[in-house]
Amino acid sequence: MNRLLLPDKVAIINGGATGMGRATALIFAEEGCNCVIADVKEEEGKKTAAEASKKGKECIFVKCDITDVKQIEACVDQTVKKFGTVHILIGSAGGSVPRDRVLNPPKEGVRPRMGVENTQEAYFDLMTDLNYKGHVFFCKEVVPYMKKQKYGKIVLISSMGVYNPPGPSVEYHGAKAAIIGLVYNLAYELGPSNINVNGILPGPIKSPFWDPVLSMVPDSERGKMLDQMGQFTPIGRIGLPEDIGYTVMFLCSELSSYITGQMLNVGGGIPLGRFDPERGFMRMVREGRPPR
């Protein structure tokens, strides 16, 4: 019988209804972990919880808007009432598109204006609350339980767009950059309490994250576009939610007990480009042509 990597642990996975969070929940359940799916997507969240529960451990859904501190407090309270404590916090909630645009995508032919000159305060505040502030307050609520038991694992999801932006988004990428600072600070502060804090910088991942971003692309073409995006990575493919889920699992298991305060790039080699001997400098060398 294989040894489980997260036996009888209790994890809160915010943003766990779909995508990377969902993959993490299913992997955690297979490794013996009880999970709480904290998300605004009720239908998808309940479905993920039910699927994870079939793998042997209990998984529940708690409706939670990470931009609302009161709902964060209620989520953690409900988790502790159900399972007695919290061992693991996964911060995967976030997004780059405001909710009104998710619910009401731009009309065909109308693209949202991008760039710092077009930044609006309300949008800036929403992106900060969704991608940074909410994670700070989730950490605030779970840390007392982790300190009491002298054990905890926190993994926060940032974005490779911080270092290698696919397009201008000072609001989203700025908030995701703040996650890096949060990881470093918490790792320093909480290390004496035996709490490991790490972060992940995902590259392009095939997940519902892209649905609102690519809302103007026909559904039949989105998969192809994402696959093409993956061709620019050194590995040459788009990432899958499970690529992130297994990395999260590693960082929450005792396999990584001596790792804290690290940001791990999981992006197929990005920001490196894909090597092609038929293009660029190597071709010029082979043909004996000096660079211009």
Residues 174-195 have pLDDT tens digits of: 999 999 999 999 999 999 999 9
**pLDDT tens per residue, range 86-119:** 999 999 999 876 545 544 445 554 555 678 888 8
Sorted by where each begins, the domain ranges of the chain are 10-287
Q: What is the pTM of this model?
A: 0.88
Q: Does domain 10-287 correspond to CATH entry 3.40.50.720? A: yes
Question: Which residues, other chains included, contact 1 with Cβ-Cβ below 8 Å and sequence gap of 6+?
Answer: none
Question: Considering the chain, what percentage of its residues have pLDDT values greater than 70?
Answer: 87
Give pLDDT tens digits for 48-98. 999 999 998 999 999 999 999 999 999 999 999 999 999 999 999 998 765
Rounded CA separation 142/147 (Å)? 9
| pLDDT at residue 243 is higher than 50 | yes
Reading the block at residue 248, the tokens are 């999260």
- Name the range with the highest mean pLDDT among 11-20, 91-100, 163-172: 11-20
Distances (CA, A) of 216 to 81, 98, 112, 176, 231: 44, 15, 11, 25, 22
**What 3-state class would DSSP assign to 101?**
helix
**Active-site residues: which are they?**
172
Beta bridge partners of 14: 38, 91
Strands 88-91 and 34-39 come out as unpaired
